[in-house]
Amino acid sequence: MKQKNLSEAAAMENPPDVIRKTLAYNDEAMLCYFELKKGAQIPLHNHRASQIGYLVSGHARFIAEKPEDEFEVKAGDSYVLDPYVKHGTTALEDSVYIEVFTPSRDEYKDF
C-alpha cells in the first residue's frame, strides 16, 4: 500500500499557471490534483487513459475537437472524458480539480 498527503506532493507547473500534484497511483489508476489560475489553458491533447474528474472550486470550460462535445463545469460538477478523445480546458475562474486516470499516465508518475 502507498499513501501521499497533498501537502507533501511535488508541485509541477506545465503549462504556465497550471499546477499538478500526482497523488496515489498504481498501474491501473492514478489520482491527481490540479490548480488552474483564471485564464490558464491546457491545450487540446489526448491520451489512452479515461479521465474522471470533479471540480472542487471554480468554473472551467472543456474544449474538444467537435464543438458539440464542449461543456462548462462549476464547483460540485463531475465529468468523464473517454480515452483518445481530444480535449483541453480553460479556467474561467481560479479552479481546483481532482482527477482520476485509468490506466495511470506514465508521464505523471513521480512516486
pLDDT tens digits, one per residue of 60-110: 999 999 899 999 999 999 999 999 999 999 999 999 999 999 999 999 997
| Pick from 1-10, 40-49, 61-70: least confident | 1-10
- Is 18:42 a contact under the CB 8 Å cutoff? yes
Quick check: bond before 103 cis, omega within 30? yes
- Residue type at 32? C
Residue in this structure with the C-alpha cell 479552479, named with its chain if needed: 95
Task: Indicate if the pLDDT at residue 111 is higher than 90.
Answer: no
pLDDT tens digits, one per residue of 55-66: 999 999 999 998
Rounded to an integer, the average pLDDT of 51-58 is 99
- Is 31:82 a contact under the CB 8 Å cutoff? no
Query: Which domains occur in the chain, in start order?
Result: 36-105 (2.60.120.10)
